[in-house]
Amino acid sequence: MKSLVNKNILRVQPYVPGKPIEEVQRELGLKEVIKLASNENPFGPSPKVLKAISLESRHLNRYPDGQCFYLRLQLAKRLKVKPTQLIFGNGSDEIIVLAIRAFVEAGDEVVIARPSFLIYEIAAQIAGATIQDVPLKNFRYDLETMSGRITPKTKIIFIGNPDNPAGTYVTHNQLVGFLENIRRDILVFIDEAYYEFVGDNDYPNTLKLLKEYRNLIVTRTFSKMYGLAGLRLGYGIADEEIIDCLNRVREPFNVNSLAQVAALACLKDQKYYRRIVKLLKEQKKFLYSRLSKLGLSFKESATNFILIEFKQKAEAITQALLKKGVIVRDMSPWGLENFIRVTIGTSKENKRFIEVLKEVL
């Protein structure tokens, strides 16, 4: 049947997510398993969110609001943008796919960093685009080289900010300097999935930049800090003309009703989530300290994960940790063969990870 398939599909290496806890328990017969592989919020959503989900579950026989009306109004008010500047997706990675679908044709070019979030490349390959990939420099975006890769065929430039898997970010001045030196008919896609974890003053205020740079689209998600990974809800903010184009290729009812009410409840319970961010920062410092005592190199991160380097291929370490009930991310698919990525978990999970890592090493 491969002769019938879109040839671009055969170029794609499918995205492989982190293993679920239940799968590891079944495969290895383990009772206790912790997952530190997918950059999830280990504390889960707030009680108010769970209550909202429970109430909405009574109406699951009805289709969801295809326009996310109430969430749109609340989020627009919070972000100080027009409701028509927002688009919602089944995770923010759907917005990536929609942007490629709306703006990229076969033969066009897309500029990405390497390593970066794999969906940028996968979505562009499916569209038949040519990938211009620029290696990170000291685990940071090399914006100068990226701008040098622009050609008349360039349609989209993807910037993960902070980046996954590096955990670093492009500063305000760096981003503005970059935007000033590229054509305004190129879409600059700023992926801010880890936005809520960054507290640094030089981090870009991209929503203000939207007023001057109409070729920007910014995406964020409720999957990471807000703990709604299982409900899949992300959103994009952009000029109304860009949003109109994205809506033309968006599937109807792409955001389910439980996700919509859960996200609304998240916005109304910011106290709970500020506490989560504080706890994770404390736990990140704990992991930095313990990793240093083990003599391991790691990249300081602006996110809820840490990239750790070993003096050998990380696949064997990942598998050894897995057999002891600790799921982490082997970074080989990103071209980082000596690295693992570890999500910051609860105090108990992080202590367990360090104990098992000592045993493995």
Q: Which residues contact 331 (CB under 8 A, 6 or more apart)?
A: 115, 165, 307, 314, 337, 339, 340, 341
Tens digit of each residue's pLDDT (9 = 90 or more) over 29-80: 888 889 999 999 999 999 999 999 999 999 999 999 999 999 999 999 999 9
Supply angle C-alpha 9, 15, 19, rounded to 5: 150
Clarify whether residues 164 and 128 are in a common domain.
yes
For residue 96, give the CATH number of its domain.
3.40.640.10
Query: What is the maximum span of the chain, computed from C-alpha positions, in angstroms?
Result: 56
Clarify whether residues 8 and 112 are in a common domain.
no
Instruction: Give the per-residue pLDDT at 164.
Output: 95
- How many Cα neighbours within 13 Å face the side chain of 70? 13
Of 227, 83, 92, which is closest to residue 164 (Cα–Cα)?
92
Radius of gyration of the chain (CA): 20
- Domain coverage including residue 170: 47-267
Tens digit of each residue's pLDDT (9 = 90 or more) over 277-316: 999 999 999 999 999 999 999 999 999 999 999 999 999 9
What phi and psi values does residue 331 have, to the nearest 5 degrees?
A: -90, 15
Of the three residues 212, 239, 267, the one that is the final residue of a domain is: 267
For residue 286, give the CATH number of its domain.
3.90.1150.10
For 169-175, what is the mean pLDDT? 97
Of the three residues 267, 302, 321, the one that is the final residue of a domain is: 267
What pLDDT band is residue 22 in, cutting at 50, 70 and 90?
A: confident
Which H, E and C letters describe 76-103, residue by residue? HHHHCCCHHHEEEECCHHHHHHHHHHHH
**Tally of domains in the chain:** 2
- CA 19 from chain center: how many Å? 17
Clarify whether residues 301 and 253 are in a common domain.
no
Percentage, residues of the chain above pLDDT 70: 96
Clarify whether residues 244 and 336 are in a common domain.
no
Clarify whether residues 276 and 263 are in a common domain.
no
Distance in angstroms (rounded) separating the CA atoms of residues 185 and 205: 21
Clarify whether residues 231 and 301 are in a common domain.
no
- How many Cα neighbours within 13 Å face the side chain of 17? 9
Clarify whether residues 25 and 151 are in a common domain.
no
| Amino acid (one-letter) located at 72 | R
**Helix then strand then coil, % of the chain, to nearest 5:** 45, 15, 40
Clarify whether residues 88 and 190 are in a common domain.
yes
DSSP line for 111-122: EEEESS-HHHHH
Of 156, 209, 207, 213, which is closest to residue 184 (Cα–Cα)?
213
Q: Which two tokens stand for residue 29?
A: 């017969």
Clarify whether residues 185 and 174 are in a common domain.
yes
Cis bond leading into 83, ω under 30°?
A: no
Supply angle C-alpha 100, 102, 104, rounded to 5: 50
Clarify whether residues 244 and 278 are in a common domain.
no
Who wins on pLDDT, 90 or 12? 90
Average pLDDT, the chain: 94
Of the three residues 234, 249, 267, the one that is the final residue of a domain is: 267
Please say whether the beta carbons of 273 and 263 come within 8 A: no
Please say whether the beta carbons of 235 and 81 come within 8 A: no
Clarify whether residues 205 and 354 are in a common domain.
no
Clarify whether residues 24 and 63 are in a common domain.
no
- CA 289 from chain center: how many Å? 26
Q: Which two tokens stand for residue 2?
A: 């491969």
Cis bond leading into 162, ω under 30°?
A: yes
Which H, E and C letters describe 209-229, residue by residue? HCCCCCCEEEEEECCCCCCCC
| Amino acid (one-letter) located at 1 | M
Instruction: Give the per-residue pLDDT at 15.
Output: 64
